[in-house]
Structure 1
Amino acid sequence: MRPLALFDLDGTLVDRKAAFDAWAGEFAADHHLDEAALTFMVMADAHHSGPMDGYFTTIRETFGLAEAPDALWRQYRRRMPELAACRADDLDALRRLRGAGWRIGIVTNGMADNQLGKIRNTGLSDLVDAWGISGELGVRKPDPQIFRRVAERCGTDLDRGGWMIGDNLVHDVAGGHAAGLRTIWLHPRRHPAPWSFTGPAPDFTVGSVADAVAVLLRDH
């Protein structure tokens, strides 16, 4: 039986923060916004959760922009996949995992055009068996159903077990646990621990996707 590993996209496989910071710098320059505005945009993103339509409503109203929030959001979704990148060590680790016979899937919240663009532009589409995007499937993490759907696309089911690897304790760790998966929390040391989380503890905590793959290959 081929084991299953499901990975989150933003903040796990893809350095979403670096891509967002680059996008925000471009956006501020294009709209003649100052450094304080750029700081506001980055901080507002850090405190935002869920779809980005509300974020762009806030940005438009705060800075008095003429373009509609939907138009700003569409521009963002076109540009972000071009800025997305993965760590070379993480891509190499996925190749090793696949070479060892694992099924690999991506489970991500977000709009289909934006997330699929990232998966394809970074080369992840060639390294995984399947993916599921909430905007396409109509169900979001941490709902267990999205994990089941991606497992099916990988040619298996969660009754056979598997792993979920991601940086979000609610979406990836608690969601994966609820779906019957073992979990690995990606928690780089540069980020403080979220003390308010009271859900199930991850089986392992690591600093990178490459570290997570090392755990999978060692522990399975």
Structure 2
Amino acid sequence: MAYYNCLLLDVDGTLLDFEAAEHKAFMETMEHFGLPAANETLEIYLDINKGLWAALEKGQIKRDRLVVQRFARLLEALDKQGNAAEMNRWYLDQLGTHADLMPGALEAVAELAETATLAVVSNGVEHVQLSRLKASGLDQYLDGVFVSERVGAEKPGRRIFETALRQLGIENRGKVLVVGDSLTADIQGGQNAGLATCWCDFKAAEDAPQPAPTHVIRSWPELYQIVMEPDELENLGNKNRKHQFEQVERTEQ
């Protein structure tokens, strides 16, 4: 059986290309509200948004306030009038229509689903993430989707991971791997929950990651070697393997 038989996957920057989706949705929002749809405006927004999400991870701001404050502060920076809450609603609706996949993610998830339980653990907005996961085709391979908005807990806190494991019925924590691109949310979060972690270093960072993850990958196919045992690697591409392994397990019990 697999070295890890349960993978808790991040979404943005891990499975889906959030930067591409964010760029499209933001520009569409600016155009809709008659604001400058320019890269300079996007940079202002990104700086504001990054600071607010960092505060969220530290428990310094609530999500419902964050998503409105980012546009309120943008309007202030641009010296423009507008309804920040309405802008946020429009932006999220647009964001939900963009499901840009990270290279190799769909193929890898389809393959890994043959040997492991796969679930999403995300700090995103639930209806946006559900829409994007469905549009990308990823949803068909997932055994669960756990979004902080519904769970009522954020990464890097351990409670969102504990909730996922409990609802998935996973008891052997030594076989669980948290996979994500954020050192502060995913890697620290996995460690807070006492789980092995895999950092998706898709941008090939030069500095040593802190906190240090259990594993590091720079492309999705590299995860096969970490998750699968030799006999499983030999069967890459074969379908219904998970079902076959479950039958073997029941026979041996």
Q: Same fold (TM over 0.5)?
A: yes
1:92 paired residue number: 107
The TM-score normalised by the length of structure 1 is 0.86
Q: How do 1:165-204 and structure 2 match up within 5 A?
A: 165-189=179-203, 191=205, 193=207, 197=210, 199=211, 201-204=212-215
Give the 3 Å change call, closer, same or farther, for CA 208–57 of structure 1 in structure 2.
farther
Whichever residue aligns with residue 45 of structure 1, its letter is N
Aligned 8 A contact 1:184 1:204 in 2: yes
2:228 paired residue number: 217
The TM-score normalised by the length of structure 2 is 0.75
Secondary structure at the counterpart of residue 142 of structure 1: coil
Q: How do 1:157-172 and structure 2 match up within 5 A?
A: 157=171, 159=173, 161-172=175-186
Name whichever of 84-93 and 13-22 sits farther off: 84-93
Name the % identity: 23
Query: How many Å separate the matches in 2 of 1:158 and 1:180?
Result: 12
Measure how far apart 1:187 and its partner are: 1.2
Residue 79 (1) aligns with residue 94 (2) = yes
Aligned 8 A contact 1:158 1:179 in 2: no
Aligned 8 A contact 1:188 1:207 in 2: yes
**Larger radius of gyration between Structure 1 and Structure 2:** 2
Q: How do 1:134-145 and structure 2 match up within 5 A?
A: 134-145=148-159
Over aligned residues, Cα RMSD in angstroms? 2.5
Aligned 8 A contact 1:111 1:135 in 2: yes
Query: What CA deviation, in whole Å up to 9, does each residue of 1:131-150 have, x standing for no partner?
Result: 10000010111111111211
Secondary structure at the counterpart of residue 148 of structure 1: helix
Query: What CA deviation, in whole Å up to 9, does each residue of 1:35-73 have, x standing for no partner?
Result: 332332244334441343321221122234443222111
Query: What CA deviation, in whole Å up to 9, does each residue of 1:58-101 have, x standing for no partner?
Result: 112223444322211111111112112213621111111111x2
Give the 3 Å change call, closer, same or farther, for CA 212–45 of structure 1 in structure 2.
farther
Measure how far apart 1:193 and its partner are: 4.2
Query: How many Å separate the matches in 2 of 1:72 and 1:181?
Result: 38
Query: How many Å separate the matches in 2 of 1:48 and 1:11?
Result: 18
2:22 paired residue number: 20
Give the 3 Å change call, closer, same or farther, for CA 218–72 of structure 1 in structure 2.
farther
Aligned residues: 216
Alignment gaps of 5+ in structure 1: none
Name whichever of 133-142 and 86-95 sits farther off: 86-95
2:12 paired residue number: 10
Instruction: Please point out which of 125, 128, 134 is paired with 1:120.
Output: 134
Query: How many Å separate the matches in 2 of 1:166 and 1:124?
Result: 16
Secondary structure at the counterpart of residue 160 of structure 2: helix
Residue 149 (1) aligns with residue 163 (2) = yes
Runs of 4+ aligned residues of structure 1 deviating over 3 Å after TM superposition are 42-48, 64-67, 157-161, 189-195
1:33 paired residue number: 36
Give the 3 Å change call, closer, same or farther, for CA 29–98 of structure 1 in structure 2.
same
Alignment gaps of 5+ in structure 2: 57-62, 233-253
Give the 3 Å change call, closer, same or farther, for CA 88–34 of structure 1 in structure 2.
closer
1:45 paired residue number: 49
2:240 paired residue number: none
